[in-house]
Amino acid sequence: MEKTVDIKPTGIESAVVYAPFDKALDALTKKGYEIIFLPQNGKLRIQQGKNAYISRNGNWIREGVLYIPKEKPKLVRNSPIPESAKKATNAHRKGKEFYPIPKQIEKALADSTDFPEENITIPTNRFDSEALTAYAFGGEKEAKAYGEFLREAGIKEMPIYYAVDKDYVNQQDKPFARQMWFGALGLGSGLGSRWSLYGWGLGGGSGLRGVKERGAQ
- 33-81 pLDDT, tens digit per residue, is 999 999 999 999 999 999 999 999 999 999 999 999 999 999 999 999 9
* Inside any domain, residue 40: no
The 10s digit of each residue's pLDDT in 123-172 is: 999 999 999 999 999 999 999 999 999 999 999 999 999 888 889 999 99
133 vs 157: CA distance, rounded Å: 12
Q: What is the pLDDT of residue 193?
A: 85
Whether residue 2 has pLDDT greater than 70:
no
* Inside any domain, residue 173: yes
Q: What is the pLDDT of residue 162?
A: 86
Q: What is the pLDDT of residue 214?
A: 73
* Inside any domain, residue 108: yes
* Inside any domain, residue 163: yes
99 vs 66: CA distance, rounded Å: 9
User: Percentage of the chain with pLDDT > 90?
Assistant: 83
* Inside any domain, residue 41: no
* Inside any domain, residue 81: yes
Q: What is the pLDDT of residue 10?
A: 55
* Inside any domain, residue 88: yes
Q: How many domains are there within the chain?
A: 1
Q: Which domain holds residue 16?
A: 3-35+46-213
* Inside any domain, residue 193: yes
